[in-house]
Amino acid sequence: MSKTTLLLTLPFGGALIVTMALGLKKTQAQSDLSGPSAYPSPTVASATSSYGKAPHPLAGVASIIEADIVDAQYTFDTSIGPRTSVTLDNIVVHAGNAPREKVFSQLGGPLPNGHYVRVSDLPVLHPGSRYILFFGASDSFYTPVWADLAFRVEAIGGRRIVLGPQGHPVTSFNSKGVSFGATQIVDPMTERDPLKPLARVTSFSASLPDIAAALDASSFGQAAKEAAKAVGAPLGTPSLRAAPRVQWNVEATLALPAL
């Protein structure tokens, strides 16, 4: 049987709506990423849509940690479906508490019948990389990473700078949004397989204005903690456990092929 990829897009709400509000998603289809306008930093405290007032992107954050991804594997469970399981190590806590678990999973991966499920709105975390991750307090079905808030840490010129989801350096972080530099340091699209490492940075100079202005991991963590506290985030102990569903492969508008 040939392999077929089944692409899921989360409903417009929950993680998707808050990441759009925080400005982590591009709002314009642009091939030229040299301009900072491709990565806006809107005010989000009063973000609204036709669906009503959106929650603040940081309102559900229980913990902000920095960790290495030391392993990634595919698993399958009849209750929680195909999963990509990742293992954390060398954890540093920036806000809240360290998770009780060092392993968590996200929806997505191969099915027993040869199909492959990929959820477009979930972060892709590569083994061999270090990230700052925001976790929620409750068990979750799709991912414990709250609202797609996963930031890559790269060592350049003796500093550990923080990159956004599209690989641009983070120049500021607060409760009103995130600012990114114009230079793309890493292109996450060069490797979409979550079991494979993403190439490390080797060719960028620390003297570039975007890199010089980038937040280092410590400054980013402190800024993120202050932003989360400012909006009343329930900082504490996060849950990395996957919440089962009655039928994992049935959504309100989508039914995946039977196994």
Average pLDDT rounded to a whole number, residues 156-173: 94
Whether 248 is in a domain gets the answer no
Whether 54 is in a domain gets the answer yes
Whether 249 is in a domain gets the answer no
Whole-angstrom distance, CA of residue 226 vs CA of residue 18: 18
Average pLDDT rounded to a whole number, residues 208-237: 95
What tens digit of pLDDT does each residue of 94-152 get? 999 999 999 999 999 999 988 999 888 899 999 999 999 999 999 999 999 998 899 99
Whether 39 is in a domain gets the answer yes
Domain that residue 138 falls in: 5-230
User: What pLDDT does 58 receive?
Assistant: 94
Burial of 151 (0-12, 13-18, 19+ CB in 10 A): buried
Query: Considering its fold, how many domains does the chain have in total?
Result: 1
Burial of 123 (0-12, 13-18, 19+ CB in 10 A): buried
Whole-angstrom distance, CA of residue 43 vs CA of residue 50: 17
**CB 143 within 8 Å of CB 16:** no
The rounded mean pLDDT for the chain is 80
Q: What is the pTM of this model?
A: 0.80
User: What pLDDT does 6 receive?
Assistant: 61
Whether 25 is in a domain gets the answer yes
Whole-angstrom distance, CA of residue 226 vs CA of residue 154: 22
Pick the closest to residue 258 from 108, 76, 249 (CA basis): 249
Provide the percentage of residues in the chain whose pLDDT is more than 70: 75
Whether 244 is in a domain gets the answer no
At residue 19, φ and ψ (nearest 5 deg) are -70, -35
Output the DSSP codes for 135-150.
Answer: EESS-BSS-SEEEEEE
Per DSSP bridges, beta strands 116-119 and 130-136 are unpaired
What tens digit of pLDDT does each residue of 31-54 get? 222 223 333 332 222 333 333 467
Whether 129 is in a domain gets the answer yes
- The long-range contacts involving 87-92, CB below 8 angstroms and separated by at least 24 positions, are 90/130, 91/65, 91/66, 91/67, 92/65, 92/66, 92/67, 92/221
Whether 238 is in a domain gets the answer no
Residue 235 has pLDDT above 90, yes or no: yes
User: What pLDDT does 101 receive?
Assistant: 94
